[in-house]
Amino acid sequence: MKLWQRLALLAVIPLLLQCYLLTQVKAAQEELDRAYVEERRQKDVIILISKAIKSAMDSLSDIVSYKSKHVQLKKERSLHHLGRVRKIREELKAMAGSEEYIQKVQDVLSEIDETVQATIDEDENEVNLRDLSKTLRFTKLGRKAIAIMDYAQFQQEMKYKQMLVVVQAKRKHFDEMALQSAFLCAAVSFGFAAYVIYLTSQQLKVLKKNSENLARGEKLLPPMRGSDELADVDRTFHLMAKSIKQLSERERAILKNSGEWIFAIDSKLRFSFVSDAVEKLLGAKPEELLGQHVTNVLAEATETIEKARTSATDQVFETNLKSNNEVPVEIQISAHWSDEEQTYFCIAHDIGARKDLERMKQSFMAMVSHDLRTPVSANLLTLDLLKSDPAIGNLTDRGRTLVERSIASNNRLMFLINDLLELERLDSGQLTLDMELVTFNDLIDETLPGVEMLAKAKDITIERDDSDRFIYCESARIVQVLVNLIGNAVKFSPSGKRVFLKYAEGGGYCKISVSDEGPGINKDSLSSIFDKFTQVKEASGAHKQGFGLGLEICKKLVELHGGSIAVSSELGVGTTFEISLPLKEV
């Protein structure tokens, strides 16, 4: 039975029972009322019979006591009593039953009526008192009437007494019924309510027990039978528990097989969970770490891990792990504090390989800068002397061409070395800026000599904005950026095109843009254009002239100024590079 059905029955059953019992009580009440009416009638009949005796006797005695001088008055009184006798007869007829004694009363009254009336009619003026036989007849009739009416009254009183007994019995029956109904109604309501409460509380107990079992990770009680709502909740609870179990199994499998080392530390900084990956990192079994203080393996990281507790964000940091074979393992840890569980949840991954690569890169850069730069500079000096020092002797045309080619190659190599060194300085944070306020016009004036020759050679016009707005930067570095951007614009544009240098301000930044009418850059390449060694092959054959390092240097230099660089391009229309630098009010 559904819960709502149970609750509805809880209200409806007592109501229906009450209605039924009320109808029963009402019927008993009506029966009692009828008995009361009957009792009243019986009583009234007794009174009527008494009245009848009195009126009949009065009319008879008036006739018997006729005297000549009061004859008229007596007649009138006689008639008056006779009238009452007749009225009582009518009332008796209407009220009394058809019992034999009532019939006898009616008969004697009728006889008295007829006799008295006949006497009145006969003795128009006087009743002959001396007629003894008449007097005797009246007296006899009177006695007979008294006897009949006494008998009738006795009978009627007996009947009345019986009626009283019936009424009392009915009254008792009514009282008992009312009491029984109230009791029955209360008992049924209470019994049914107790049953519903018992049933529901048993089901709630099962639900409570299941929740506790789920929280403790113990087995749930068997699913409830039935189709009510609580059984539905229990079924859903079982499904939920199943999903949770599956999820936690999956989670355990992920934790077990994850390449990352996942661990939890309690508020006293002791390992409370350690995933299997620790074996690979430390050469120790997870169980060995459980309960150990973090300082035993993460001595340098304890303070930083603790910071996660007070900070709103996760702590991400690099540290060394004390491994069993005494070789420190470089790891990156991300630590998160859970207030609810009073636990730090951490993920660590091995960054040894990445660090090795960085170290290799650094030593390669050192090698490039110091071991290559010096011989290339020496080569360039020698080649220059070969080309231009007459003391060495004149070169043949072929020799001159070869020397010039060699100078160009060495120059390219020198550019590459310089770019690499520049990038290295930027990456390692060695480069510091010498900031100053310089106008846009000044910057462009300084930049143009570096690109004008190339522009002239390709018949490219450079159109520039005229602005004396101040820009806060290290002018030599921004000139370096602009030379690269304008140089690219000229380099990749076909002859006869234009390059535009514009100045604008907005959002607290000054914006310098370099636009060209060149071939444009395809969308796929745009996203990686600022990455090292990126060259867009479709742009033009000019890409062979560089190494794809210029834009990365530009980006890093602009970012060092607290600014940014953006590119937009449309194939066949042109390309725009825009650098934004924070404005500084003068």
Residues that bind ligand ADP (CB under 6 A): 484, 488-489, 492, 516, 518, 521, 529, 534-536, 539, 543, 546-551, 575
Q: Which is nearer to ligand ADP, 6 or 491 (CB)?
A: 491
Beta bridge partners of 574: 570
Query: Which two structure tokens, joined as six digits, stand for 381?
Result: 């000096």
**Nearest residue to ligand ADP, scored by beta-carbon proximity:** 546
CB 113 within 8 A of CB 85: yes
Least CB distance from residue 463 to ligand ADP, whole Å? 15
d(CA 18, CA 38): 30
- Using alpha carbons only, how large is the chain's radius of gyration in Å? 64
**What is residue 318's three-state secondary structure?**
strand
Least CB distance from residue 578 to ligand ADP, whole Å? 12
For 567, other C-beta atoms within 10 Å of its C-beta total 17
Distances (CA, A) of 109 to 46, 102, 148: 15, 10, 10
**What is residue 511's three-state secondary structure?**
strand
Q: Which is nearer to ligand ADP, 206 or 462 (CB)?
A: 462
Q: Which is nearer to ligand ADP, 286 or 487 (CB)?
A: 487
Q: Which is nearer to ligand ADP, 213 or 545 (CB)?
A: 545
Q: Which is nearer to ligand ADP, 487 or 563 (CB)?
A: 487
Least CB distance from residue 363 to ligand ADP, whole Å? 25
Task: To the nearest 10°, report the CA torsion of 527, 531, 534, 540.
Answer: 50
Q: Which is nearer to ligand ADP, 260 or 578 (CB)?
A: 578
d(CA 472, CA 476): 12
Least CB distance from residue 397 to ligand ADP, whole Å? 31
Least CB distance from residue 409 to ligand ADP, whole Å? 16
Least CB distance from residue 479 to ligand ADP, whole Å? 15
As to burial, measured by CB atoms within 10 angstroms (0-12 exposed, 13-18 middle, 19+ buried), residue 443 is buried
The vertex-188 CA angle with 187 and 190, nearest 5°, equals 65
Q: Which is nearer to ligand ADP, 390 or 533 (CB)?
A: 533
Q: Which is nearer to ligand ADP, 438 or 483 (CB)?
A: 483
Least CB distance from residue 518 to ligand ADP, whole Å? 5
Least CB distance from residue 549 to ligand ADP, whole Å? 6
For the chain, the distance separating the N- and C-terminal CA atoms, rounded to the nearest angstrom, is: 84
Query: Which two structure tokens, joined as six digits, stand for 573?
Result: 């229309």
As to burial, measured by CB atoms within 10 angstroms (0-12 exposed, 13-18 middle, 19+ buried), residue 548 is middle
Q: Which is nearer to ligand ADP, 149 or 549 (CB)?
A: 549
- Residue spans of alpha helices (H) in 429-494: 440-447, 449-457, 475-492
Least CB distance from residue 575 to ligand ADP, whole Å? 4
Nearest to 519 by CA among 574, 461, 437: 574
d(CA 137, CA 115): 10
Backbone phi and psi for residue 507, each to the nearest 5 degrees, phi listed first: 65, 30
